[in-house]
Structure 1
Amino acid sequence: MSHLTPSGDRPVSDRDDPPRRVKVGVGDLAVSSDGAVLTTSGLGSCVAIALVDPATEIRGLLHAMLPSADGDERRTPRPAKYVDSGLDTLVDELETSGASPGRLEARLVGGAEMLDLTAAVGPRNVERARESLAAAGIPLVASDVGDAVGRTVRFLPGGDLAVRAADGFERTL
């Protein structure tokens, strides 16, 4: 399929269009089955868990703030705020979108120790993410966690996770 540029003088194919971006806020999650780039920023002590079914390329991204909902019923309206309930919700949404939970692969980013006042939230988020992924039977294939630097991620079609640290370092997981 092609369309004209705003001036109307040359055809342009859809493959020239940049992919749609979906911003995932703090305590939120999103799923893509259409090639959108899932992005999140502000990963200090928070963690991003990126899941992909390589066979279908259906992907999901969670930006969790705290390790566990700890069964507090008042917290259930925002399950993505927590690593454990957020991961459960993300897996459910991926399955609803056509992904197979048995084929999911995970990438984990964040969990920095930003301030002494955070009561080690970053390392606890990372630990809880690893425990929750193991309990769900989802292999962790790559991670970029810890240190004292914030991060931004872009979850690309195909399953690559581009990580940019606040110190300027970039890598692809």
Structure 2
Amino acid sequence: MTADIAARRVNIIQGEYKVVTDPNVVLTTILGSCVAACLRDPVAGVGGMNHFLLPGNAQSMTSGGDATRYGVHLMELLINGLLKKGARRDRLEAKIFGGAKTIATFSNVGEQNAAFAMQFLRDEGIRVVGSSTGGEFGRKLEFWPISGRARQYPLTGAETQRTVAAEQKPAAAPRPVESSIEFF
């Protein structure tokens, strides 16, 4: 049995992030104009991925809408999740994927997403060791968070259009975190 077959696949959808320490997990997602940031700490043996729809900044967060759609929110959640599992910020390395211009008549939100992710990581002092962004077609992404291996497959025009349609739907309500606190 090959490592690819033995791996447990965990799909990340828009507005989600996942942090894992299991070397048998591969994180997967499908991206159009969305971006996925794949981060890991190779010494601690922990890594993760997020999938965001829009670049994020303070102004976009205060204009309403679901916070899980924004890069700033999901980048912070991913980094904090890694740190809680033993990662150190100075050892984190990143790979960025997605950000295609999937609809010619729309503004290039994909390019804005990719630029946001790169700037955010620069500002946080996190080294980017690889990226594949832009283009006209979506991608299917596989990321092995412990080894740092990543593989992508280009999507056809029809597959990209399905991805665009899915990205335009409202994000699913975030799942409660196991250690969440409920205020009355």
- TM-score, scaled to structure 1: 0.80
Q: Which portions of structure 1, spanning 4 or more consecutive aligned residues, are displaced by more than 3 angstroms?
A: none
The answer to whether the aligner puts 1:67 opposite 2:80 as a matched pair is no
Q: Would the aligned equivalents of 2:35 and 2:110 in 1 still touch at CA under 8 Å?
A: yes
The answer to whether the aligner puts 1:134 opposite 2:122 as a matched pair is yes
Task: Give the Cα separation in 2 of the matches to 1:94 and 1:20.
Answer: 20
Q: Look up the SS of the partner of 1:64 in the other structure.
A: coil
Structure 1 match to 2:137: 149
Which residue identity is paired with 2:102?
Answer: M
Which protein shows a greater Rg? Answer: 1
Q: Would the aligned equivalents of 1:32 and 1:38 in 2 still touch at CA under 8 Å?
A: no
Structure 2 match to 1:158: 147
Between stretches 58-67 and 113-122, larger displacement belongs to 113-122
Task: Give the Cα separation in 2 of the matches to 1:130 and 1:111.
Answer: 12
Paired residues, what number? 151
Cα shift readout 1:54-111 (whole Å, capped 9, x = no counterpart): 1122111011100015232744x643x2112211110001111111111100000110
1:23-102 aligned at under 5 Å gives the runs: 23-35=11-23, 36-41=25-30, 43-69=31-57, 70-72=60-62, 74-75=64-65, 78-79=67-68, 81-102=69-90
Deviation at residue 16 of structure 1 after TM alignment: 10
Which residue identity is paired with 1:150?
Answer: G
Structure 1 runs not aligned, ≥5 long: 1-11, 168-173
Structure 2 match to 1:22: 10
Larger RCO (CA within 8 A; separation ≥ 6): 2
Which residue identity is paired with 1:166?
Answer: L
Which residue identity is paired with 1:165?
Answer: P
Higher strand residue share:
1
Deviation at residue 119 of structure 1 after TM alignment: 1.5
Structure 2 runs not aligned, ≥5 long: 157-184
Task: Give the Cα separation in 2 of the matches to 1:105 and 1:138.
Answer: 6
Cα shift readout 1:134-172 (whole Å, capped 9, x = no counterpart): 1111011111110101101111141111111115xxxxx
Q: Would the aligned equivalents of 2:99 and 2:134 in 1 still touch at CA under 8 Å?
A: yes
Deviation at residue 17 of structure 1 after TM alignment: 7.3
Structure 2 match to 1:105: 93
Q: Percent identity?
A: 33
Cα separation, partners in 2 of 1:19 and 1:96, compared to 1, 3 Å: same
Deviation at residue 19 of structure 1 after TM alignment: 2.0
Deviation at residue 117 of structure 1 after TM alignment: 3.9
Q: Would the aligned equivalents of 1:57 and 1:159 in 2 still touch at CA under 8 Å?
A: no
Higher helix residue share:
2
